[in-house]
Amino acid sequence: MAKRSTEFQVYNSMTKQKEIFKPRAEGKVGMYICGVTSYDYSHIGHARAYVAFDVLYRYLKHLGYEVVYVRNFTDVDDKIIRRANELGEDPKALSGRFCQEFLKDMADLQCLLPTHQPRVTDHMDEIKNMIAQIIKNGCAYAVDGDVYFSVDNSPNYGILSGRKLEDNRAGERVVVDERKRNPADFALWKAAKPGEPLWDSPWGPGRPGWHIECSAMSAHYLTHAFDIHGGGMDLIFPHHENEIAQSCAACSDSKINYWMHNGFITLNDEKMSKSEKNFFTIREVTELYHPLALRHFLLGTHYRSPVNYSISQIEIASEAVFYVYQVLQQLKNKALKRGGLTEEDVLQSIEERMLARKNKEFSKSDEIRSDLAAKGIALMDVGKETVWRPCVPVQQEQQIERVPQNKLPLHEESVALVDK
């Protein structure tokens, strides 16, 4: 059999061009996608990112790659603390709750589970060790319990976003923190404020800045050098730029081969904005439309292009998904007609078979399955349920001829036959 080609191209945000994908190790891919900050329900912009990278994950697996897919949860952050204070809830409990809600959304959208889903609060040691290493390498400094990354000591700062340091002066619109050596320096560790969650560190009690978590967790799960790092385009600056600076400052061998970024979602042709209340959560959409309609809508546009969400577009996607299911139902109806059966007949047979299996009358249960298979109806056991679908009619004599009697229990043999 001809070997399946594993060659494909990716657009690399670092080089700004399409490149033939070459993994660092043959047959293996390490992929890190920035996850959500879990303080509320996720919006459809999140759905777009994770559906796009789910397709990439599935495609890499389809090509035969062994993929380690890491997607983090930010479970300690200013927004989480603020929201928890508003609701009078413990920040960890709040973020834990919304991690679960996010996972439910991902399951509804039929996104496969990543290999690892690390949470920041479970990786404090890795984060503190990386900050200590960056300080040791002369690229960060501690002031009054805070630790800042020194952008002046990062010669490649701006390599991904194309921004120049002088464009990044934080002092133009906000008061510059006088303790920073350069206004563009950013926090690796934040000294604890009253009432905030805190962890001990060599620089005093506090918590990590946002960017350091992805450098530390990607290095922990994928080492300092790996294949693909992705997220939304809004993460290019400052998040991914800062990640590169930190990772290279901690380890000179740090290298990510492909940076991938998905495009924005607009809502009725305007930028989605939480502050303007111009956004939809995934849950708001999936309460009214099938999650696959949302998935279908999101995948209707190239992942790097902007996509505009509107009720008319989701209606069109919903119609398309309905059409697919409707055709499947017609296919089932025709199969019943060819087999001279009604759906009730099949459901009754399924019930009889279940009872026979419960009573350990396996020859009877196999007979029921074989009879249906001969009429072009295949039974499939999905968990504790049995469902049916059309199949090529299999004559009983053929079933006996085709399956050696001594290999599997008879009821397993018929599964093998009808599922061909």
Q: Which stretch binds Zn ion (CB under 5 A): 194-202, 209-217, 266-274, 372-380?
A: 209-217
Q: Rounded CA gap, 67 and 293, in Å? A: 27
R_g of the chain computed on alpha carbons: 27
Q: Is 371 helix (H, G, I), strand (E, B) or coil?
A: helix
Whichever of 34 and 130 has its CB closer to Zn ion, that residue is: 34
Whichever of 67 and 214 has its CB closer to Zn ion, that residue is: 214
Q: Which stretch binds Zn ion (CB under 5 A): 9-17, 30-38, 355-363, 364-372?
A: 30-38
Among 138, 114, 123, 137, smallest CA distance to 54 is for 114
Using the rule CB under 5 A, is 120 a contact of Zn ion?
A: no
Determine the distance from the C-alpha atom of residue 201 to the mean position of all C-alpha atoms in its chain, rounded to a whole number.
32
Q: Rounded CA gap, 54 and 111, in Å? A: 6
Using the rule CB under 5 A, is 214 a contact of Zn ion?
A: yes
Residues paired with residue 31 on neighbouring β-strands, in sequence order: 69, 228
Q: Rounded CA gap, 395 and 372, in Å? A: 10
Q: Rounded CA gap, 413 and 399, in Å? A: 9
Q: Which stretch binds Zn ion (CB under 5 A): 42-50, 171-179, 207-215, 244-252?
A: 207-215
Whichever of 34 and 394 has its CB closer to Zn ion, that residue is: 34
Whichever of 35 and 339 has its CB closer to Zn ion, that residue is: 35
CA angle 180, 182, 187 (to 5 degrees): 55
Kind plus residue range of the DSSP H or E element containing 20: strand 17-20
Q: Tell the smallest beta-carbon distance from residue 231 to Zn ion (Å).
A: 6
Q: Tell the smallest beta-carbon distance from residue 189 to Zn ion (Å).
A: 17
Q: Tell the smallest beta-carbon distance from residue 244 to Zn ion (Å).
A: 11
Per the CB < 8 A criterion, the answer to whether 260 and 12 are in contact is: yes
Whichever of 214 and 350 has its CB closer to Zn ion, that residue is: 214
Q: Tell the smallest beta-carbon distance from residue 75 to Zn ion (Å).
A: 13
Owner of token pair 């039929």? 110
Owner of token pair 């503190």? 128
Cα atoms found within 13 Å of the Cα of residue 367, Cβ hemisphere only = 6
Binding to Zn ion (CB under 5 A): which residues in 31-50? 34
Q: Which stretch binds Zn ion (CB under 5 A): 47-55, 129-137, 210-218, 273-281?
A: 210-218
Six-digit token string for 19 = 């490149």
Residues binding Zn ion: number (CB under 5 A):
2
Residue type, 310: S
The phi and psi torsions of 112 (rounded to 5 degrees) equal: -70, 150
Whichever of 118 and 339 has its CB closer to Zn ion, that residue is: 118
Residues paired with residue 270 on neighbouring β-strands, in sequence order: 267
Binding mask 164-203 for Zn ion (x = CB under 5 A): ----------------------------------------
Q: Tell the smallest beta-carbon distance from residue 94 to Zn ion (Å).
A: 20
Whichever of 109 and 214 has its CB closer to Zn ion, that residue is: 214
Whichever of 34 and 228 has its CB closer to Zn ion, that residue is: 34
Q: Tell the smallest beta-carbon distance from residue 80 to Zn ion (Å).
A: 15
Q: Tell the smallest beta-carbon distance from residue 71 to Zn ion (Å).
A: 10
Q: Tell the smallest beta-carbon distance from residue 217 to Zn ion (Å).
A: 9
Task: Give contact residues for Zn ion (rule: CB under 5 A).
Answer: 34, 214
